[in-house]
Protein backbone atom coordinates (compact mmCIF):
# COMPACT_ATOMS: atom_id res chain seq x y z
CA UNK A 1 0.00 0.00 0.00
CA UNK A 2 1.36 3.33 -1.05
CA UNK A 3 2.21 5.82 1.66
CA UNK A 4 2.32 9.55 1.49
CA UNK A 5 6.09 9.33 1.30
CA UNK A 6 5.82 7.37 -1.94
CA UNK A 7 3.49 9.91 -3.42
CA UNK A 8 5.83 12.71 -2.43
CA UNK A 9 8.80 10.94 -3.92
CA UNK A 10 7.06 10.30 -7.19
CA UNK A 11 5.92 13.91 -7.37
CA UNK A 12 9.38 15.11 -6.39
CA UNK A 13 8.21 17.05 -3.38
CA UNK A 14 8.37 16.69 0.37
CA UNK A 15 5.68 14.84 2.31
CA UNK A 16 4.51 18.07 3.83
CA UNK A 17 3.71 19.53 0.45
CA UNK A 18 2.02 16.32 -0.61
CA UNK A 19 -0.07 16.37 2.52
CA UNK A 20 -1.14 19.96 2.02
CA UNK A 21 -2.06 19.38 -1.59
CA UNK A 22 -4.11 16.28 -0.92
CA UNK A 23 -5.92 17.94 1.95
CA UNK A 24 -6.65 21.02 -0.12
CA UNK A 25 -5.00 23.16 2.46
CA UNK A 26 -6.28 26.65 1.62
CA UNK A 27 -3.62 28.56 3.47
CA UNK A 28 -0.74 26.84 1.75
CA UNK A 29 0.96 28.52 -1.15
CA UNK A 30 1.71 25.83 -3.64
CA UNK A 31 2.53 26.15 -7.28
CA UNK A 32 -0.22 24.95 -9.61
CA UNK A 33 2.18 22.70 -11.42
CA UNK A 34 3.42 21.09 -8.22
CA UNK A 35 -0.15 20.59 -7.16
CA UNK A 36 -0.88 18.79 -10.38
CA UNK A 37 2.12 16.52 -10.05
CA UNK A 38 1.04 15.49 -6.56
CA UNK A 39 -2.49 14.69 -7.62
CA UNK A 40 -1.23 12.63 -10.50
CA UNK A 41 1.18 10.74 -8.30
CA UNK A 42 -1.57 10.00 -5.79
CA UNK A 43 -3.83 8.81 -8.54
CA UNK A 44 -1.17 6.66 -10.08
CA UNK A 45 -0.33 4.97 -6.79
CA UNK A 46 -3.99 4.66 -5.76
CA UNK A 47 -3.07 6.38 -2.55
CA UNK A 48 -5.46 6.05 0.37
CA UNK A 49 -4.44 7.76 3.59
CA UNK A 50 -3.72 5.50 6.51
CA UNK A 51 -6.52 5.93 9.00
CA UNK A 52 -4.40 4.91 11.94
CA UNK A 53 -1.86 7.62 11.43
CA UNK A 54 -4.48 10.18 10.57
CA UNK A 55 -6.52 9.31 13.61
CA UNK A 56 -3.49 9.49 15.84
CA UNK A 57 -2.36 12.84 14.59
CA UNK A 58 -5.78 14.45 14.39
CA UNK A 59 -7.15 12.85 17.54
CA UNK A 60 -10.15 11.93 15.45
CA UNK A 61 -11.07 8.44 14.43
CA UNK A 62 -13.52 9.42 11.74
CA UNK A 63 -15.98 6.85 12.98
CA UNK A 64 -18.78 6.49 15.45
CA UNK A 65 -20.17 3.39 17.08
CA UNK A 66 -23.77 2.32 17.13
CA UNK A 67 -24.11 0.06 20.11
CA UNK A 68 -27.20 -2.07 20.39
CA UNK A 69 -28.24 -4.92 22.65
CA UNK A 70 -29.36 -7.06 19.75
CA UNK A 71 -28.45 -6.60 16.13
CA UNK A 72 -31.41 -8.54 14.88
CA UNK A 73 -33.84 -6.21 16.56
CA UNK A 74 -36.69 -5.12 14.35
CA UNK A 75 -36.22 -1.42 14.80
CA UNK A 76 -32.50 -1.57 14.38
CA UNK A 77 -32.45 -1.57 10.58
CA UNK A 78 -34.20 1.77 10.21
CA UNK A 79 -32.23 3.33 12.98
CA UNK A 80 -29.04 2.17 11.38
CA UNK A 81 -30.05 3.53 7.99
CA UNK A 82 -30.70 6.96 9.46
CA UNK A 83 -27.40 7.03 11.27
CA UNK A 84 -25.55 5.81 8.23
CA UNK A 85 -27.09 8.48 6.06
CA UNK A 86 -25.94 11.37 8.19
CA UNK A 87 -22.52 9.93 8.78
CA UNK A 88 -21.99 9.29 5.12
CA UNK A 89 -22.30 13.01 4.46
CA UNK A 90 -19.34 13.74 6.65
CA UNK A 91 -17.37 10.69 5.58
CA UNK A 92 -17.68 9.18 8.99
CA UNK A 93 -17.74 5.42 9.24
CA UNK A 94 -20.41 3.71 11.32
CA UNK A 95 -19.52 0.66 13.31
CA UNK A 96 -22.14 -1.51 14.84
CA UNK A 97 -21.27 -3.27 18.02
CA UNK A 98 -23.33 -5.49 20.21
CA UNK A 99 -23.17 -4.82 23.91
CA UNK A 100 -23.83 -7.99 25.77
CA UNK A 101 -25.39 -8.05 29.22
CA UNK A 102 -23.42 -6.23 31.84
CA UNK A 103 -20.38 -8.02 33.11
CA UNK A 104 -18.66 -7.60 36.41
CA UNK A 105 -16.18 -5.49 34.60
CA UNK A 106 -17.51 -2.00 34.51
CA UNK A 107 -15.33 -1.02 31.59
CA UNK A 108 -17.02 -3.32 29.11
CA UNK A 109 -18.04 -0.57 26.75
CA UNK A 110 -14.61 0.97 26.87
CA UNK A 111 -13.18 -2.37 25.85
CA UNK A 112 -15.51 -2.71 22.90
CA UNK A 113 -15.11 0.81 21.74
CA UNK A 114 -11.47 0.89 22.54
CA UNK A 115 -9.73 4.10 23.15
CA UNK A 116 -9.69 6.28 20.13
CA UNK A 117 -11.40 3.74 17.94
CA UNK A 118 -14.44 5.95 17.54
CA UNK A 119 -15.28 9.57 18.19
CA UNK A 120 -18.72 9.05 19.65
CA UNK A 121 -21.33 6.51 20.56
CA UNK A 122 -25.01 6.06 19.96
CA UNK A 123 -26.27 3.59 22.48
CA UNK A 124 -29.53 1.73 22.45
CA UNK A 125 -30.13 0.62 25.95
CA UNK A 126 -30.66 -2.99 26.77
CA UNK A 127 -33.46 -4.02 29.08
CA UNK A 128 -30.86 -5.69 31.18
CA UNK A 129 -28.96 -2.62 32.16
CA UNK A 130 -29.87 -0.98 35.39
CA UNK A 131 -29.41 2.77 35.64
CA UNK A 132 -26.34 2.14 37.71
CA UNK A 133 -24.76 -0.36 35.34
CA UNK A 134 -25.49 1.87 32.40
CA UNK A 135 -24.01 4.86 34.12
CA UNK A 136 -20.82 2.95 34.76
CA UNK A 137 -20.69 1.62 31.23
CA UNK A 138 -20.85 5.00 29.57
CA UNK A 139 -18.02 6.52 31.56
CA UNK A 140 -16.10 7.42 28.47
CA UNK A 141 -14.36 10.53 27.35
CA UNK A 142 -16.33 10.68 24.14
CA UNK A 143 -19.92 11.79 23.66
CA UNK A 144 -22.59 9.18 24.25
CA UNK A 145 -26.08 9.71 22.92
CA UNK A 146 -28.67 7.42 24.39
CA UNK A 147 -31.25 6.16 21.95
CA UNK A 148 -34.84 5.77 23.02
CA UNK A 149 -34.01 6.07 26.64
CA UNK A 150 -32.82 8.61 29.11
CA UNK A 151 -30.65 8.46 32.17
CA UNK A 152 -30.84 10.74 35.10
CA UNK A 153 -27.86 13.03 35.15
CA UNK A 154 -26.86 12.21 31.60
CA UNK A 155 -27.36 14.75 28.86
CA UNK A 156 -27.49 13.48 25.32
CA UNK A 157 -30.43 11.39 24.23
CA UNK A 158 -32.92 10.93 21.48
CA UNK A 159 -36.26 9.48 22.44
CA UNK A 160 -39.38 8.66 20.54
CA UNK A 161 -42.75 10.21 21.16
CA UNK A 162 -44.00 7.30 23.22
CA UNK A 163 -47.13 9.02 24.47
CA UNK A 164 -47.94 10.13 20.94
CA UNK A 165 -47.66 6.61 19.60
CA UNK A 166 -49.91 5.22 22.30
CA UNK A 167 -52.37 7.98 21.56
CA UNK A 168 -52.49 7.16 17.85
CA UNK A 169 -53.13 3.51 18.62
CA UNK A 170 -55.82 4.25 21.17
CA UNK A 171 -57.52 6.77 18.91
CA UNK A 172 -57.69 4.12 16.22
CA UNK A 173 -59.24 1.57 18.56
CA UNK A 174 -61.64 4.11 19.98
CA UNK A 175 -62.65 5.15 16.47
CA UNK A 176 -63.55 1.52 15.79
CA UNK A 177 -65.69 1.49 18.92
CA UNK A 178 -63.43 -0.31 21.39
CA UNK A 179 -63.53 0.55 25.06
CA UNK A 180 -62.32 -2.73 26.60
CA UNK A 181 -58.66 -2.38 25.81
CA UNK A 182 -55.79 -4.35 27.27
CA UNK A 183 -52.09 -3.47 27.22
CA UNK A 184 -49.18 -5.83 26.80
CA UNK A 185 -46.38 -3.73 28.16
CA UNK A 186 -42.66 -3.85 27.54
CA UNK A 187 -39.97 -4.72 30.04
CA UNK A 188 -40.61 -2.89 33.28
CA UNK A 189 -37.04 -1.68 33.69
CA UNK A 190 -36.95 -0.02 30.31
CA UNK A 191 -37.87 3.61 30.51
CA UNK A 192 -39.42 3.76 27.03
CA UNK A 193 -41.69 0.92 28.10
CA UNK A 194 -42.48 2.80 31.29
CA UNK A 195 -43.44 5.91 29.35
CA UNK A 196 -45.78 3.92 27.13
CA UNK A 197 -47.39 2.35 30.13
CA UNK A 198 -47.97 5.69 31.81
CA UNK A 199 -49.36 7.09 28.58
CA UNK A 200 -51.68 4.12 28.19
CA UNK A 201 -53.12 4.54 31.66
CA UNK A 202 -53.57 8.25 31.33
CA UNK A 203 -54.94 8.40 27.81
CA UNK A 204 -57.26 5.46 28.22
CA UNK A 205 -58.56 6.84 31.50
CA UNK A 206 -59.01 10.28 29.99
CA UNK A 207 -61.15 8.81 27.25
CA UNK A 208 -63.53 7.48 29.85
CA UNK A 209 -62.78 3.84 29.15
CA UNK A 210 -62.11 1.49 32.04
CA UNK A 211 -58.46 1.03 33.02
CA UNK A 212 -58.32 -2.46 34.47
CA UNK A 213 -55.12 -3.55 36.14
CA UNK A 214 -55.56 -7.20 35.23
CA UNK A 215 -55.61 -6.15 31.59
CA UNK A 216 -52.19 -4.61 31.87
CA UNK A 217 -49.65 -7.37 31.44
CA UNK A 218 -45.92 -6.77 31.71
CA UNK A 219 -43.92 -8.63 29.08
CA UNK A 220 -40.79 -7.82 27.09
CA UNK A 221 -39.85 -6.68 23.62
CA UNK A 222 -39.67 -10.06 21.94
CA UNK A 223 -42.12 -12.61 20.55
CA UNK A 224 -41.98 -15.24 23.28
CA UNK A 225 -42.76 -12.64 25.92
CA UNK A 226 -45.66 -11.34 23.86
CA UNK A 227 -47.04 -14.85 23.42
CA UNK A 228 -46.78 -15.54 27.11
CA UNK A 229 -48.55 -12.31 27.97
CA UNK A 230 -51.36 -13.06 25.55
CA UNK A 231 -51.88 -16.51 27.02
CA UNK A 232 -52.23 -15.09 30.50
CA UNK A 233 -54.62 -12.45 29.20
CA UNK A 234 -56.82 -15.07 27.58
CA UNK A 235 -57.14 -16.96 30.83
CA UNK A 236 -58.96 -14.09 32.48
CA UNK A 237 -62.69 -14.49 33.09
CA UNK A 238 -63.39 -11.27 31.22
CA UNK A 239 -61.59 -10.57 27.99
CA UNK A 240 -60.89 -7.25 26.35
CA UNK A 241 -62.01 -6.66 22.77
CA UNK A 242 -58.71 -5.13 21.80
CA UNK A 243 -55.05 -5.29 22.83
CA UNK A 244 -52.36 -2.72 22.41
CA UNK A 245 -48.95 -4.37 22.38
CA UNK A 246 -46.02 -2.14 23.30
CA UNK A 247 -43.69 -3.47 20.65
CA UNK A 248 -44.00 -5.12 17.29
CA UNK A 249 -42.08 -8.34 17.87
CA UNK A 250 -44.07 -8.99 21.00
CA UNK A 251 -47.25 -8.40 19.01
CA UNK A 252 -46.27 -11.12 16.58
CA UNK A 253 -45.91 -13.49 19.49
CA UNK A 254 -49.20 -12.27 20.92
CA UNK A 255 -51.01 -12.81 17.64
CA UNK A 256 -49.58 -16.27 17.34
CA UNK A 257 -50.72 -17.18 20.82
CA UNK A 258 -54.20 -15.79 20.25
CA UNK A 259 -54.66 -17.76 17.05
CA UNK A 260 -53.31 -20.88 18.73
CA UNK A 261 -55.94 -20.44 21.42
CA UNK A 262 -58.64 -20.36 18.78
CA UNK A 263 -59.33 -16.68 19.13
CA UNK A 264 -60.30 -15.10 15.84
CA UNK A 265 -58.37 -11.93 15.03
CA UNK A 266 -59.70 -9.32 14.50
CA UNK A 267 -63.31 -10.51 14.89
CA UNK A 268 -62.98 -11.43 18.55
CA UNK A 269 -59.88 -9.50 19.38
CA UNK A 270 -58.21 -6.58 17.70
CA UNK A 271 -54.44 -6.19 17.95
CA UNK A 272 -52.45 -3.04 17.35
CA UNK A 273 -48.83 -2.41 18.09
CA UNK A 274 -46.08 0.18 18.09
CA UNK A 275 -43.31 0.15 15.46
CA UNK A 276 -43.72 -1.04 11.94
CA UNK A 277 -41.64 -3.77 10.36
CA UNK A 278 -42.04 -6.01 7.34
CA UNK A 279 -42.96 -8.93 9.55
CA UNK A 280 -46.12 -7.13 10.67
CA UNK A 281 -47.23 -7.05 7.07
CA UNK A 282 -46.52 -10.68 6.33
CA UNK A 283 -48.16 -12.45 9.21
CA UNK A 284 -51.78 -13.46 8.82
CA UNK A 285 -53.77 -11.43 9.62
CA UNK A 286 -51.35 -8.60 9.00
CA UNK A 287 -50.94 -6.39 12.02
CA UNK A 288 -52.08 -2.80 12.32
CA UNK A 289 -49.15 -0.79 13.60
CA UNK A 290 -48.08 2.68 14.57
CA UNK A 291 -45.02 3.41 12.49
CA UNK A 292 -42.42 5.34 14.42
CA UNK A 293 -39.89 7.64 12.77
CA UNK A 294 -36.89 5.46 13.48
CA UNK A 295 -35.05 6.66 10.47
CA UNK A 296 -35.40 10.28 11.53
CA UNK A 297 -34.41 9.39 15.05
CA UNK A 298 -31.26 7.78 13.73
CA UNK A 299 -30.50 10.91 11.79
CA UNK A 300 -31.04 13.06 14.85
CA UNK A 301 -28.83 10.93 17.00
CA UNK A 302 -26.03 10.90 14.45
CA UNK A 303 -26.28 14.63 13.91
CA UNK A 304 -26.13 15.25 17.60
CA UNK A 305 -22.95 13.25 17.96
CA UNK A 306 -21.27 14.79 14.94
CA UNK A 307 -22.31 18.32 15.83
CA UNK A 308 -21.01 17.83 19.30
CA UNK A 309 -17.62 17.01 17.86
CA UNK A 310 -17.73 20.42 16.24
CA UNK A 311 -18.57 22.09 19.49
CA UNK A 312 -22.34 22.04 19.80
CA UNK A 313 -23.66 20.92 23.16
CA UNK A 314 -25.48 17.65 23.62
CA UNK A 315 -29.21 17.81 24.26
CA UNK A 316 -32.13 15.61 25.17
CA UNK A 317 -34.44 15.42 22.20
CA UNK A 318 -37.83 13.86 21.67
CA UNK A 319 -38.61 13.14 18.06
CA UNK A 320 -42.11 14.37 17.38
CA UNK A 321 -41.75 14.94 13.68
CA UNK A 322 -42.57 13.05 11.61
CA UNK A 323 -45.38 12.08 13.95
CA UNK A 324 -46.25 8.46 14.74
CA UNK A 325 -48.25 7.21 11.78
CA UNK A 326 -51.04 4.67 11.85
CA UNK A 327 -50.67 1.80 9.40
CA UNK A 328 -54.03 0.09 9.21
CA UNK A 329 -53.89 -3.58 8.33
CA UNK A 330 -56.08 -6.56 9.09
CA UNK A 331 -55.67 -7.15 12.81
CA UNK A 332 -58.13 -4.47 13.88
CA UNK A 333 -61.85 -4.07 13.31
CA UNK A 334 -64.92 -2.95 15.17
CA UNK A 335 -65.66 -5.06 18.25
CA UNK A 336 -68.27 -7.76 17.89
CA UNK A 337 -70.98 -7.07 20.42
Positions that interact with a copy of itself (CB under 8 A): 1, 46, 48-53, 55-56, 61-63, 70-72, 74, 76-77, 80, 84, 93-98, 107, 110-112, 114-117, 141, 222-223, 227, 252-253, 255-256, 259-260, 278-279, 281-284, 286
Question: Which residues lie below 8 Å from residue 43, measured CB to CB, with a gap of 6+?
Answer: none
Tell me which stretch binds DNA (CB under 7 A): 7-15, 136-144, 152-160, 274-282: 7-15
How near is the Cβ of 139 to DNA at its closest, in Å?
17
Q: Interface mask (CB under 7 A) for DNA, residues 107-136, using x and -?
A: --------x---------------------
Selection from DNA, a copy of itself, none that 236 binds (CB < 5 to 8 A by kind) is none
Q: Output 302-305 pairs: Cβ under 8 A, ≥24 positions apart.
A: 302/64, 302/82, 302/83, 302/85, 302/86, 302/87, 302/94, 302/122, 303/86, 304/145, 304/156, 304/158, 305/64, 305/119, 305/120, 305/121, 305/122, 305/143, 305/145
With CB under 7 A as the contact rule, the residue among 24, 26, 29, 152 that binds DNA is 29
With CB under 7 A as the contact rule, the residue among 39, 45, 49, 285 that binds DNA is 49
Query: Contact between 13 and DNA (CB under 7 A)?
Result: yes
How near is the Cβ of 111 to DNA at its closest, in Å?
15
Selection from a copy of itself, DNA, none that 76 binds (CB < 5 to 8 A by kind) is a copy of itself
Total number of residues that touch DNA (CB under 7 A): 31
Give the residue with the Cβ less far from a copy of itself, 211 or 263. Answer: 263
**Torsional sign, CA 71, 75, 77, 83:** negative
Query: Contact between 173 and DNA (CB under 7 A)?
Result: no
With CB under 7 A as the contact rule, the residue among 36, 40, 56, 236 that binds DNA is 56
Selection from a copy of itself, DNA, none that 110 binds (CB < 5 to 8 A by kind) is a copy of itself
Query: Contact between 62 and DNA (CB under 7 A)?
Result: no
Query: Contact between 24 and DNA (CB under 7 A)?
Result: no
Query: Contact between 58 and DNA (CB under 7 A)?
Result: yes
Residue 289 to residue 75: CA distance in whole angstroms: 13
How near is the Cβ of 116 to a copy of itself at its closest, in Å?
4
Phi, psi angles (nearest 5°) of residue 151: -145, 125
Tell me which stretch binds DNA (CB under 7 A): 12-20, 146-154, 186-194, 264-272: 12-20
116: left (phi over 0), alpha (psi -120 to 50) or beta: left
Selection from a copy of itself, DNA, none that 301 binds (CB < 5 to 8 A by kind) is none
Selection from a copy of itself, DNA, none that 211 binds (CB < 5 to 8 A by kind) is none
- Angle (CA) 192 325 88, round 5°: 75
With CB under 7 A as the contact rule, the residue among 24, 26, 46, 57 that binds DNA is 57
With CB under 7 A as the contact rule, the residue among 36, 44, 54, 114 that binds DNA is 54
Residue 125 to residue 48: CA distance in whole angstroms: 36
Binding site for DNA (CB under 7 A): 3-5, 12-17, 19-20, 22-23, 25, 28-31, 33-34, 47, 49-50, 52-54, 56-59, 115
Amino acid sequence: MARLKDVAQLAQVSVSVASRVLNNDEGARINADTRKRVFEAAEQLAYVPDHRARALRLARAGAIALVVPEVNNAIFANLHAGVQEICHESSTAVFVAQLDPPEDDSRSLARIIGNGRVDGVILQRSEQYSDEALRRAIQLDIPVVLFNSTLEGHVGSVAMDDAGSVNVALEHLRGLGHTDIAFIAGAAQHDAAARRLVAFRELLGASGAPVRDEWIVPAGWEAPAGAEAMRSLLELPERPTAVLVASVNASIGALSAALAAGVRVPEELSIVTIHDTWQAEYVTPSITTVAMPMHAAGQWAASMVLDHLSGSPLRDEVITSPAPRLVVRSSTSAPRR
